[in-house]
Structure 1
Amino acid sequence: MSLAIGSYEKLHDLSDGSDLLNLAWTQDERDLLSVDVMATVSAELAAEVAEELPYVGDYLVKDPYGEAVLGPVAAEFFGRPGWAASVTCGAGVGPLLHGLSLLAAGGTVEVVTDVYPDYPHWVTRAKGRCVPYGSGPRGDLLVLERPALRDERFAHLDAVRDLCTGAAERGAVVLVDESNANYLPPDFSAANLAPEVPNLIVVRGLSKAYGLGGVRLGYCVSSPTATDLVRAVVSPLGTSSLSLRIGRRVLGLGDVTSALRAGIARAKPYVRDLLAEAGLPAPVTAATGLPYVLFPNQPRRAVELLRERGVQAKVQPVWSAATCALTEVGRMSVPLRKDRLHNLRNRLDGRKER
């Protein structure tokens, strides 16, 4: 079981209701994209039908990792056409990380930032071990999130490059989980370093910001050298042909999140202040770009207090880089539509929406 997925099990619903504002996850992001992504997906599905289902009927045995379909458009998305990097696709970020945990089988992983607990969990099941970065034992692999929930040490590409250089000196690989990087522009991505950094693997998807988790498409960007490692552990033919078609079309839209980024930047400090004024325990904003307010202290109490006001947040499991143990943080998504912001303010003031 994915520990992160398990954190949703006890939530009553995943949509708003008359007596509940659901902020356990973000569900109004697509309204701020510069294109109608769902209309784009619908048009692509209609084209697939009009063309007599060529992708549905095609078993891509000659392109088992989806590189021929997604690779060129990924290069264009990052502004690097013709780059010397490879793309390896899978059925979402989670399944890719599950496969990549085998890189640490019987070895040591240094956890550089706090991460979702799934990868360390899978490393342990593969008879590997996780240790804090720089704590003494040298890892065969270093793992970090960009952007991490709160840690911004690696927000700039130079910091990632330096990390990779240090790791390469001892033959280690750096794995970057960029699940959340859709909230930032393409030039933020460590994928831009892949053509020049041989020991870097960057994992991304279409769930965050795009709201296309159901398409089940994730992709790794890596140098040819690192790609050999990736494809030794990631299953071929893990992505449906139709998902690849949709992903190619969506990435081909380019950077569609600039207005979303601006909306998050406006709303996040306002929401944090609302929560503080309502007496919630020490709310803090998540790292730049992320649409969350966090409760690192008393996470369960914070979620309980919000629930009493008709607001659903969640207790997010986190693997601590400092202790290499499972911890928790309270997490509330920032509402972005004006009506949902108004709804939140009323509930925090003790007035339910009617």
Structure 2
Amino acid sequence: MSPKKKNSSSKVESVEMASEVSVLDLPDLVLECILEKLPPEGLCRMAGVCTSLRDWCTSDHLWERHMKNKWGRIVGPAAYREWQFHVVSGKSSIFFNQDKQKGLMGYLIQLWPFALIRSSFSNISKKQSFPPVDSIMSWYLALESGKFWFPAQVYNRENGHIGFMLSCYDAELSYDQRTDTFEARYPPHGRRASAVETGVTWDRLRAPPVDTSPHDLHVSDCLNELKPGDQFEIQWRRNKEFPYGWWYGVVGHLETCDGDANYCRCHDNDTLVLEFNQYTRGSRWRRTTVSRKDHREEGNEADGFYGGIRKLCGKEEISMWKKLWPAEALE
């Protein structure tokens, strides 16, 4: 064989060998690093290539980061319990039907049939759902679908209605991919039907900081440590048929104290002064007191009922309330 023919033959062999190299031939660590850099849409596409990549791309390890980055701040234990209920009851499949799905869900719907066909060839007797119903990927996609309503809390509900300024209320939320906002359904207020608000933005949402129903009194465990200047949230409701909301306030000084830190003994007194400085001086909502020793729900039908108290310690929580501070004092 001439050198020229030999060279051309070796080139053909090299091309053939190169064409046979698969991404699955990469070391596991390298493949994992590549997949970690893919966005959710990319993982969904890759999951439809073959059963091996499907297993890689649906792993909880890869989806934990996406869940935390996008949903971690507003999805808490209560939302996870709601999702687990749907999984156990077999209702999770309703989030993945093919009715006019767009965006990320659209990619999944297109890939789903092919992935199922491939898996049936590889293991006819063992049908596996795609994605696995109890996986983080499924939970992520259910949230994206907008059909999964989950519990969270909304600051300044009902588009910042003046009656709810500097408050945070429980609601059921549904995500709208088209507008990147949420629809919120609030619990009924007495005989009033549930209020609905659309266009709720991400910055007005949070995961519930305590695992207390909006109809139950939160057990206060911080009363003895509160002192003037400390910031807190307190449950308040208009009457006993209403659910509680959380309202922002600051611990104040007793009327007998001049506020001098060297002589202040307010923190030793059984009476705890709560101030809501978003209201004008003289407003009946500006100031109230509760007992440190035997605090339960306190109030009346005229001024509403004050419930449990939680001390604010995190800078992020406090900063959020400061951002919501009204431009003018409330009456």
Give the TM-score, by structure 1 length: 0.21
Q: Which has the larger radius of gyration?
A: 2
Question: Which fold has the larger relative contact order, with Cα–Cα distance below 8 Å and residues 6 or more apart in sequence?
Answer: 1
